[in-house]
Amino acid sequence: MGRVKIRSVLNTATAPFDPEGYLRRQRALRGDPVIVRVPGSGRLVVTGDPEGARELFAGPVELFATARPNMVEPLLGPGSLIMVEGDRHRHERRLLAPPFHGRRMRAYGEIIQRVTLDRLGRHRAGEPVDVLALGQAVTLAVIVRAIFGVEDSARGERFASATARLLAGYTPALAMPAFRHTVGRLGPAARLRRRLAEFDALLTAEIDARREAGVDGREDILSLLLTARYEDGGAMSASDLLDELRTMVVAGHETTATSLAWAMYHLHREPGAARRLRDELAPLGTAPAPDDLAALPYLGAVCQEAMRLHPVVPMVARMLTAPWRFRGVDLVAGDTAAVATSLLHHNPEVWDEPFAFRPDRFLDSKPRPHEYAPFGGGHRRCIGAAFGEYEMRVVLGTLVSAGRFTPSDRARPVPRARPHSITLGPSRPLTLVYDGPV
């Protein structure tokens, strides 16, 4: 066996534990695109080149299907916007879009800020804070209020507990179809199904109560979806409503919390960056309005740079339903074309010092959609992208306005990203010391 082949075999063994490193090493060995043979499926052709991203995002929609096996399907269900295709995807997207834009989205700003200050207030000066755990607590509490519309503290705790248990019940092993079978009550699939049943029962009871009481005057997303109608006047089915609400929970929790944690971590490892953000925040006072925070240029750049350095969704993929040529490779039905966001965001032809934290790069110029894609691209770009960015800016701006933090491990290298639930997250806790309120 040749030396290159041995290196390739050893590298493949690391893929489940270090997908970003695996793709970087494969590209160094074989160039771009990287071609991976997926057992039981077609070829996976992966690019990190901007022109490859442009090619995929502008590709023929009629030839694209949801990539399968899909790691999130066991958690989200077949009626999720992420899983449906064709005309159904277009109709569903049009129905779900209004709560995530404009006035509707900004209506959640005060909820986000109130939750953030409440969670920060639970920490004592001088204690270490795992900023990923803090971000998860904030985003989970925002979900309970903004999506489900639950204000009562006892019911809110039940929703938060069921949501946390649901997410904890998912393991990356379920990305592989072989692990989705159950033997009685044993195994990860059986555990996830129990957690899904618990979550869905709680949410179904809330839906029934909301329908009985009426939704007049309510701004939460559940109430908006209960009144939403397709073009033909029909309402969303009960099962599809559950799948979509579950999708919003998953997409709005782990992803935003992880990006927020990386932003807090890098910001406080770079004293100049933290000072610059505090200077930008200072004119807004100690209680800045959420919309004022969301409009701050440097705060926005910090968030964008964190998502560039550490994209939480590792790949944007399209499965082919018919032959198509992608990056010079002739694909057939069943093959999958994909953009690896980590390769794209670290491409040295686009980004100077691609592994350095430099928010200014987003002030100096605006990247094009095929160079920077933390929310995917093309016709399936994340529908909650605007909400996720808005929430991240409000939370980060509120935390930095209200408290002081210092890094506890500045001398240690930045941790690698590893599979964590359905996202890539830090391989060790991102810890800052909370020095107390401003």
Q: How far apart are CA 171 and CA 12, in angstroms?
A: 20
Best CA proximity match to 138, nearest among 163, 99, 112: 112
8 Å CB contact between 314 and 20? yes
> 128: which strand partners?
433
Burial of 232 (0-12, 13-18, 19+ CB in 10 A): exposed
Helix (H, G, I), strand (E, B) or coil at 348: coil
Cis peptide before 311 (omega within 30 of 0): no
What does the DSSP 8-state code read for residue 183? B
Residue 169 one-letter amino acid: G
The token duo for 372 is 């920077």
- Residue 234: phi and psi, rounded to 5, are -80, 155
Which residues lie below 8 Å from residue 199, measured CB to CB, with a gap of 6+? 162, 163, 165, 166, 246
Q: How far apart are CA 264 and CA 5, in angstroms?
A: 41
Which residues lie below 8 Å from residue 387, measured CB to CB, with a gap of 6+? 100, 105, 108, 252
For Cα atoms 98, 251, 418, give the angle at the middle one, nearest 5 degrees.
Answer: 155
Q: Which long-range contacts (CB under 8 A, 24 or more apart) does 58-62 make?
A: 58/378, 59/318, 59/324, 59/326, 59/337, 59/378, 60/324, 61/378, 61/379
Q: Which residue's entry shows tokens 């534990």?
A: 17
Q: How far apart are CA 388 and CA 390, in angstroms?
A: 5
382 annotated as a binding-site residue: yes
Detail the residues annotated as belonging to a binding site: 382
Q: Which residues are annotated as a binding site for heme?
A: 382
